[in-house]
Structure 1
Amino acid sequence: MASLDSFKAKKTLTVGDKTYTYYSLEAAAANGLGDVTSLPASLKVLLENLLRNEDGTTVTKADIQAFAAWLTDKGEAKHEIAYRPARVLMQDFTGVPAVVDLAAMRDAAKALGADPKAINPQVPVDLVIDHSVMVDYFGHADSFEKNVEREYERNKERYEFLKWGQTAFKNFRAVPPGTGICHQVNLEYLAQTVWSKDEDGETVAYPDTCVGTDSHTTMVNGLSVLGWGVGGIEAEAAMLGQPVSMLIPEVVGFKLTGKLAEGVTATDLVLVVVDMLRKKGVVGKFVEFYGSGLANLSLEDEATISNMAPEYGATCGFFPVDNETLEYLKTTGRTSDQVALVEAYSKAQGMWRPEMSDPVYTDTLELDISTVKPSIAGPKRPQDRIILDDASDAFAKAMDTEFKQLDEATKRVKVEGEEYTIGHGDVVIAAITSCTNTSNPSVLVAAGLVAKKAAERGLSVKPWVKTSLAPGSQVVTDYLAKAGLQDDLDKLGFNLVGYGCTTCIGNSGPLPEKISKAISEGDLVATSVLSGNRNFEGRVNPDVRANYLASPPLVVAYALAGSMNINLTKDPIGYDDENEPVYLSDIWPTNEEITSVVRSCVTPEMFDARYGDVFKGDEHWQAIEVKGGETYGWPESTYVANPPYFEGMGMEPEAINDINKANILGLFGESITTDHISPAGNIKADSPAGKYLQEKGVPVMEFNSYGARRGNHEVMMRGTFANIRIKNQMVPGTEGGITKHWPEGDVMPIYDAAMKYMADGKELVIFAGEQYGTGSSRDWAAKGTNLLGVRAVLAESFERIHRSNLIGMGVLPLQLPEGGSWTDLGMTGNEIVTIEGVSDFKPREAVTVNIEFPGGETKTITAELRIDTENELEYFKNGGILHYVLRNLARAAK
């Protein structure tokens, strides 16, 4: 798309023997935009995006001028823009339903009389299959091979579908299973920092940008690629050519100074950053890092910080381009031409960090990195940081305040057939997993060195601990093997189990039956320690109630100790062959040891070899046959099914009615996460989803996980709000996805109640507290809500991605006023709700909510409509973003 170029920004840049067209911020400033040199680097990326895509309709001259005004207004977020990312990244849990939707849209386009091929990605899309491997086998040399075999057995139908998508859709590539985690593949291979493409006879250079269907897409911010997580619904719209509608954000500058102390890891640093930024309050804002401390961090350290932007609540955590960026690109096998382009372009655009004076930020905060101490986070949230020295005391406190079992803290339970017992606080899962840390050689090498020193002292992992190593990249295996450290990890049971997210997303696999039985019979608060980024209730494993995030070397240490009741900084971690105590300090490597191994064992050749033919896949992937043509055949499957979103849809949207006399499906408290809402983890046999699968002839042992079945709406809608730890206050004192169906007041699964209401023609609403929808960008949290018949969610505040997803599925998000929460109003769930003005409103408008209580009393409150932009309003009026896009593409293709 040619730009109108109102500010005559289009220039050429020569790099070596190549000439690129680019849209110069300096030229735009000189031609009427005004001085924008003091903009944060992340906003310069957005500004360039608008200069390049100015079309007079979605991007106007006034939109571009708003960036200069942003400096005057000190970063107040008030101007809406249309942003077009260069590409889209997906993982398979969120990617499968996205491709299902695209396939369904092709069917719907055909029904509307349009060419189904009009439904096709307009920008490059990469899907990395990384969320489906489960830790069924562990602690043995053949664990990886067995888990891969099991993965393909479980997911054959899904993988056939994805391989069809790879052939049916243009601009769509699938990275096969067993390659790595999508964020690490993005960081090591897909990302370019500066993108280029041939267009109208020119090679246009511009910043690499992306949106992804995983909230931790932000990891690539460490490589100076502006990217963040969106719901699958938003991602589909972006890949179909729709801009991402957003306000020019506030940008919080985070100044880092100093250098990490001896024995402190990047994981410890990121837990402090999460803690500080959560307290600061950065939801919906950009965070940009600056300061002299950046010179003392590796790019992998920066990527670790960027990865956890969802945990500190920000849209992104951006690091500008510097020498470390260039070195990382070289180390990971990018071409010399690409590295030269990144340097030249960044300097030409004023995005080169060493030459940038401190930009203007909306607000700032500062951390001296040298003050960071070893930490963990838990037992339920990533922002709940605990200094390692206080960890055992903190668990004792949690036994009192969180789990209400302090009076039996010393109880032990005999494990059937074994000589040992287990008790409260014992670590039953120790997992080196997830993208957060496994992109960082320093912490993985540290874990290997801890294992090496422990093995040399004769230490072993406690027998009740399930150990696993699931790297984010095959390159990790190469450098651990080259350093000789994989053998030491193997000795302690940290054998390779797969290249995927595993434990961090709930794919921890079952505990050994005798351990699970002892935990259940003793009602024990068992614990997990993982090097991931999420530890929400019910996420890791149904048997494990307390979950702690820690660096990989601390994961190894806790596996050796076997309990959270041990103070790793003071107590012995174990005893050697001479029965002498061994302390953590005895086996902890020095920074110099770690650096020496990393420098000698991580090479560009490893990346070249692993990514040379990355889309080929192993023999399992190559053996999959592709079925179907331009539209999918929808074979009988409990994994993939044609969703009902577009049934009976016409070319023009129907009028929206007010919400009249709706029943309440749930009353929820604060911090209800997308893990609570969206189906995730294991499928229980006696749940609505489990019963459905059994009716379809699926044995319980073949249920797989909710995540693997995201392509089947029948399973997923039955699992919405079915998390084992969710607390619906309509049924106080209980956990799990149940509610009361009125007027009778019968207690039943949420799905069953919703279907009864639907059969009776009743509309539904949900009430909730603050931070509704925090966590991963799970589109099924919104899709399931829609399919259950919920028309509106009334909450005290919303997380950004989930709010957007609700709108994308035609569900109304309403923010309750101060004093207007359901608890303040004295609601119990047996009320009737009418919401007026839905048929005709504007973004952020006040909406009247009438609540009829049993006995006839009525209370009226005014809620704020959290449809924030005109684009979002259009999506909602069309019944959702996919309906809006489908209608537009179908009209154009007729």
Structure 2
Amino acid sequence: MSDIFNVKDTLTVAGKEYAYYSLPTLAKTYPHIEKLPFCMKIVLENLLRNEDGGQSVGKEHIEAVANWDEGAAPSQEIAFMPARVVLQDFTGVPSVVDLAAMRDAVVKLGGKAEQINPFIPSELVVDHSVQVDVYGREDALDLNKKIEFQRNNERYEFLHWGRQAFKNFVVVPPATGIVHQVNLEYLARVVMAAAVDNGDGVELTAYPDTVFGTDSHTTMINGIGVLGWGVGGIEAEAAMLGQPSSMLIPQVVGFELTGQLSEGVTATDLVLRVVEMLRAHGVVGKFVEFYGEGLNNMPLADRATIANMAPEYGATCGIFPIDQIAIEYLRLSGRDAAQIELVEKYAKAQGLWHDADTEDACYSSKLHLDLATVQTSLAGPKLPHQRINLADMHKSFSSTLETMTKDRKAAIKGKDRFEEEGGKQAQAKSLAAEPSAFCDVTSNFCSIVDINDEEYNLRDGAVVIAAITSCTNTSNPAVMIGAGLVARNAAAKGLTAKPWVKTSLAPGSKVVTDYLEKTKLMDELEKIGFYLVGYGCTTCIGNSGPLLESIEKGIEENNLVAAAVLSGNRNFEGRIHSHVKANYLASPPLVVAYALAGTVDIDMTTQPLGQDREGNDVFLKDIWPTSAEINELIANNIDAEMFHKNYGEVFNGSKEWNAIASPDSQLYPWSEASTYIQNPPFFEGMTMEPEGIPDIENARILGMFGDSITTDHISPAGNIDADSPAGLYLQSRGVMEADFNSYGSRRGNDAVMTRGTFANIRIKNLMMDGKEGGYTYYFKGDKATLKDGKQMAIYDAAMKYKEDKRPLVVLGGDEYGSGSSRDWAAKGTILLGVKAVLTGSFERIHRSNLVGMGVLPLTFKEGENAQTHKLDGSEVLSITGLNNGESKTATVTATRADGSTETFEVNVMLQTPKEREYVRHGGVLHYVLRHLASDSINAS
């Protein structure tokens, strides 16, 4: 590492001397640095430290950030190198599979297996594999853990191999916590220190902790001043292999916070308001930085809650500065004293420290929120930014119900049952707030369900899932203790969760369990039905597990609009559960309240949740705790010893984990019999010469989609249907339906994942005239209309097109690929034979992932789309003028069955020279492989 600006300095901490690249010294030459946002100073230090004469980072890149024009549109390319990579197991396992496959490939190209190793610290947390199979009972945790290990033994064996085969790679075992909470409470350094070869020898160098994560909610770590964001597995793998990430210098939105939250308002309510505001403002591709006097009394956990949901407001990150509150959190969470001293001294030396005297930075645009104006709220029924004030929830659900049931008709079976059992139905226990209500399917859609030999009325709006889950909120003691207090107060009045509600409690770390037990609130949660089900990301990612058979049957019987209320960050269509159409994000205390009510079809501000033992109405206000009570419990019951105890031997794991055997070899011994881990075909037939970016001729449209198609629509997620291509494949391999597990757990098997791409039950291919699910038309030859097409699963059609040697294109609307950083949304796309994706606009991560897999991203010109060009999906497309990726635009010629054509220009969304190189090579992994193999061959 060079020092062309001569700015290196030293500081001493606990008797050790650390070198660092001084921003204040550089500011003497470039005074605008003093006005840079906190996050841009971190970017500047990253470039300064990694300057290499222009190969990746040159003087012009450093000067571009030092002289950052906050009002300019992003145009300057820079290369950012994170300090470390964090992975969760759903995205981490396929990343390690790719590294294992790369070892095989590099050997075939003439290199050595040992060349494929993480170059930077890479930490995987096994947190996405636990499902809520068992709930509402004391042994739920143990039983779910047992099922988890049975289901995932092959995957866990593979991870055991990886942790011994790869250097710089560690695994946090299952049943420890959610990756982002573990990252916040333990893994994050805030300031890194490493021995670095400076050309004249090795010296201990300090630098900001920056991180890429294979989960979009990696941004949670921004809450403690660590710059990081979610990337696809492909981009993470490149970083692990020492490749910087090309990006455009971003704009930074300053978000000023003032005042304090009102009594009874939670951090969840705050973040839902922030999400709403930033979505409306438009922050896709931008950094967001929070500042203002409102930070002075904002706990670190509240900051982490806001930072966590950056993907929901569309930003690359949402960061808070390092200040005294961050230092106090490091101390509370049990960090080493010398490390805490390093963080504080380094931050102050670099001008990265924030206090009351810190001057405001320059921002590209600004927003302001008075915290006192935030109201109790939820978000739904489909998107995280659909915020609803609690007082408006009843009216909002009525509108949602009208939309979702516009064309619904009562099932004949339901009417027959009503007529046959009319007298009995009047006696069935009511779901509605009014105890006298009964199930009248002639005027109100309703099913009778049997639960433990008792009958209940299941209506539209029934809460069938109430889950305290997800990194967003389970890291926050205020809302978790608040939930416990609501439970305590409800139990004291004799209330409990309704029988049809599947309740679950999945903390983000064992520290949460400790303080809930210490405050005796765990007992109170259990009294009303919320038992501990596991440590991991459960309902929020679709690992909600099955509902009771009678509940699922009742929903199907009359096509009911059932609801889920969860303390998560995602509520996209089809994500939470296939039988649940209306999904609402809420604070943990509200999750408890809706479990008590059993329905979202209620005005909680005016209607009772139920009746106490004397028959008196109990309202939400009667059981809601005060802020003072919550804060007192936090102050008296959470300490550093809890963190020391739970993280002292974090990598050791349980006896179940340590009993797993794994091979001891540098190359992984792939097994054809495995249905979890397979050698992916990405490198089949690969040579040392890249393919380039040729024009695309005579392509068919595999699917044509509308706006807001998320990676949950594209990438396989949730349960595997027995009749789906993936389900049929598993059955052909002898796997029983009960052992299918989830798509997420099988991400290491390309055969399963490719079959599940575009197979979401709620996705709508516009070619299919409103039909939901992963279907398309297969067209034989060049001349066909829609009515000539043969309807089939998208995977089956893609395989037929592959036999025809026909390239494929996918068309989409605005915000294509929003949501989680699912690398299989890109991997599945390329393995289906898709050469290009043409949309109105892309969400940042998915576009990057497509590039990383060698898929060409294109966008329509402003104001244009498939409809304006009168495309119906039956056309044959040719995309010309690409000029090996150098052209900013290309020409699309759509030829119809009658020979007529439609010609229009599109934008080529390759934003940097490095991105063009990646696509020319067929993806970033191919690019890295060729360079490593070339280095090895030249060295020998």
TM-score bucket of the superposed structures, by smaller chain: over 0.9
Alpha-carbon distance between aligned partners in 1 of 2:11 and 2:396, rounded to the nearest angstrom: 57
Aligned: 1:399 with 2:424: no
Task: Look up the SS of the partner of 1:70 in the other structure.
Answer: coil
CA contact (8 A) 1:216 1:310 kept: yes
Structure 2 alignment gaps of length 5 or more: 410-440, 781-787
Q: One-letter code of the match for 1:852?
A: T
Report whether the alignment pairs 1:876 with 2:919.
yes
Alignment of 1:367-406 (within 5 A): 367-404=369-406
- For 2:413, the equivalent position in structure 1 comes to none
Match in the other structure for 1:415:
449
C-alpha distance in 2 between matches for 1:863 and 1:716: 30
Q: Distance in 2 between matches of 1:683 and 1:35?
A: 54
Partner of 2:224: 223
The aligned residue for residue 714 of structure 1 is 751
Listed one character per residue, the Cα deviations across residues 459-506 of structure 1 (whole Å, up to 9, x for unaligned) are 111010000000000100000000000000011111100000100000
Tell me how far apart the structure 1 counterparts of residues 644 and 573 of structure 2 sit (CA, whole Å): 40
Q: What are the Cα deviations for residues 223-245 of structure 1, in whole angstroms up to 9, with x where unaligned?
A: 10000000000000000000011
- Look up the SS of the partner of 1:662 in the other structure: strand
- 2:16 is matched with which residue? 18
**Mapped partners of 2:594, 2:829: distance in 1:** 39
Say which is worse superposed, 608-617 or 810-819, in terms of deviation.
810-819
Deviation at 1:35, TM superposition (A): 3.4
Tell me the SS of whatever aligns to 1:35: helix
Deviation at 1:854, TM superposition (A): 2.5
Which residue does the alignment assign to 2:931?
Answer: 888
Distance across 1 between alignment mates of 2:7 and 2:657: 47
Report the secondary structure of 2:454's partner residue: coil
SS at structure 1 position matched to 2:120: coil
- Report Cα offsets for 1:535-584 as digits up to 9, x if no partner: 00000001111100000000000000000111111100110000000000
> 2:173 pairs with 166, 171, 176, which one?
176
- Displacement of 1:420 in angstroms is 1.2
Give me the whole-angstrom Cα distance separating, in 2, the residues matched to 1:547 and 1:761.
42
Alignment of 1:778-789 (within 5 A): 778-789=822-833
CA contact (8 A) 2:699 2:876 kept: yes
Q: Structure 1 residues 294, 403: closer, same or farther in 2, change over 3 A?
A: farther
- Deviation of 1:16 after TM superposition, in Å, equals 4.2
Would the aligned equivalents of 2:404 and 2:561 in 1 still touch at CA under 8 Å? no
Q: Which residue of 1 aligns with 2:438?
A: none
* Deviations 1:246-276 (CA, angstroms, capped at 9, x unpaired): 0111000000001000000000000000000
Kept after mapping to 2: 8 A contact 1:333/1:604:
yes
Deviation at 1:411, TM superposition (A): 2.3
- C-alpha change, 1:492 and 1:387, in structure 2 (3 Å) is same
- Bigger drift between 740-749 and 147-156 goes to 740-749
**Residue 723 of structure 1: CA displacement?**
0.1
User: Is 1:438 equivalent to 2:474 in the alignment?
Assistant: yes
Q: Which residue of the other structure, out of 699, 703, 707, is the alignment partner of 1:666? A: 703
Q: Is 1:47 matched with 2:90?
A: no
Q: Distance in 2 between matches of 1:405 and 1:300?
A: 44
Mapped contact 1:220–1:303 kept (Cα < 8 A): yes
What corresponds to 1:288 in structure 2? 289
* 2:198 counterpart of 1:191: no
Task: State the AA in 2 paired with 1:606.
Answer: M
Measure, in 1, the Cα distance between the counterparts of 2:408 and 2:591. 25
Query: Does the CA contact (< 8 Å) of 1:258 and 1:296 recur in 2?
Result: no
Tell me how far apart the structure 1 counterparts of residues 32 and 764 of structure 2 sit (CA, whole Å): 52
Aligned-pair CA distance for 1:839: 4.5
- What is the one-letter code of the residue matched to 1:691? L
- Contact 1:76 / 1:362 at 8 angstroms: preserved in 2? no
Give the secondary-structure state (helix, strand or coil) at the position aligned to 1:317: strand
Deviation at 1:70, TM superposition (A): 1.3
Aligned to 1:795: 839
Q: Verify: 1:429 aligned to 2:465, yes or no.
A: yes
Tell me, in whole angstroms, the C-alpha distance in 2 between the residues paired with 1:240 and 1:802: 20
2:669 corresponds to which letter in structure 1?
A: G
TM-score normalised by the chain length of structure 2 = 0.94
Please give the secondary structure, in 2, of the residue aligned with 1:353: coil
2:854 matches 1:810: yes
**Deviation of residue 68 (structure 1)?**
2.8
CA distance in 1, matches of 2:362, 2:693: 43
1:749 corresponds to 2:786? no
SS of the aligned residue for 2:766 comes to coil
Measured in 2, the distance between the counterparts of 1:313 and 1:663 equals 31
- Unaligned stretches of 5+ residues in structure 1: none
Secondary structure of the corresponding residue to residue 67 of structure 2: helix
Kindly indicate whether the alpha-carbon contact (under 8 Å) linking 1:75 and 1:251 is maintained by their aligned counterparts in 2.
Answer: no
Aligned to 1:69: 67
Number of residue pairs matched by the alignment: 889
User: 2:884 corresponds to which residue?
Assistant: 840
Counterpart in the other structure of 2:895:
852
Q: Give the corresponding residue for 2:428.
A: none
What is the CA distance between 1:340 and its match in structure 2?
A: 1.2
1:618-654 CA-partner distances (Å, limit 9, x unpaired): 0110000111400000122000000000011111213
Asked whether 1:321 is paired with 2:355, we answer no
Q: What does 1:38-437 correspond to in 2, within 5 Å?
A: 38-56=35-53, 57-71=55-69, 74-200=71-197, 201-354=202-355, 355-404=357-406, 410-416=444-450, 417-437=453-473
Q: Name the stretch that deviates more: 674-683 or 195-204.
A: 195-204
Map 1:560-709; keep pairs closer than 5 Å. Answer: 560-635=596-671, 636-709=673-746
Structure 2: which amino acid aligns with 1:67?
V
SS at the partner of 1:568?
A: coil
Instruction: Give yes or no for contact 1:655–1:839 (8 Å, CA) kept in 2.
Output: no
Aligned counterparts of 2:469 and 2:31: Cα–Cα separation in 1: 48
* SS of residue matched to 1:848: strand
TM-score by length of 1: 0.98
Deviations 1:345-366 (A, max 9, x none): 1111111111421000000000
**What are the equivalent positions in structure 2 for 1:24-35 lying under 5 Å apart?**
24-30=22-28, 32-35=29-32
- The question of whether the paired residues in 1 share the 8 Å contact of 2:884 and 2:920 is answered with no
- Asked if 1 retains the 8 angstrom alpha-carbon contact of 2:332 and 2:640, the reply is yes
Residue 535 of structure 1 aligns to a residue in which SS? Answer: coil
The CA deviation string for residues 176-231 of structure 1, in whole angstroms up to 9 with x for no partner, is: 00000000000000001111112243211111000000000000000100000000
Q: Is the 8 A contact 2:257 2:292 kept in 1?
A: yes
Calculate the aligned-residue CA RMSD, in Å.
1.1
Question: Which residue in 1 is equivalent to 2:422?
Answer: none
Asked whether the 8 Å contact 2:175–2:536 carries over to 1, the reply is: yes
- Report what 1:467 is aligned to: 503
- The percent of aligned pairs where both chains have the same amino acid is 59
Q: CA deviation at 1:79?
A: 1.1
Contact 1:75 1:249 in 2 (8 A): no
Residues 742 and 538 (structure 1), Cα distance of their counterparts in 2 relative to 1, 3 Å cut: same
Task: Please say if residues 505 and 539 of structure 1, whose CA atoms lie closer than 8 Å, have aligned partners that are also in contact.
Answer: yes
Between the aligned partners of 1:720 and 1:109, the Cα distance in structure 2 is: 28
Aligned residue number for residue 8 of structure 1? 6
Is the contact made by 1:75 and 1:361 (CA closer than 8 Å) also made in structure 2? no
Contact 1:322 1:353 in 2 (8 A): yes
Q: Distance in 1 between matches of 2:527 and 2:860?
A: 55
What's the offset of the Cα at 1:837? Answer: 2.1
Q: Partners in 2 of 1:606 and 1:523 — Cα distance?
A: 47
Q: Distance in 2 between matches of 1:439 and 1:452?
A: 20
What letter corresponds to residue 767 of structure 2 in structure 1? M
Contact 1:87–1:211 (CA under 8 A) maintained in structure 2:
yes
Task: Evaluate the alpha carbon distance shift between residue 16 and residue 618 of structure 1 in structure 2; reply closer, same or farther with a 3 A threshold.
Answer: closer
Contact 1:431 1:529 (C-alpha < 8 Å) held by counterparts: yes
Q: Which amino acid aligns with 1:413?
A: S
CA deviations on 1:789-814 (whole Å, 9 max, x unpaired) are: 00000000000000011011111100
1:420 is paired with a residue whose SS is strand
Q: Deviations over 1:800-858 (max 9, x none)?
A: 00001101111110010124310111211110100002342326x01111111231221
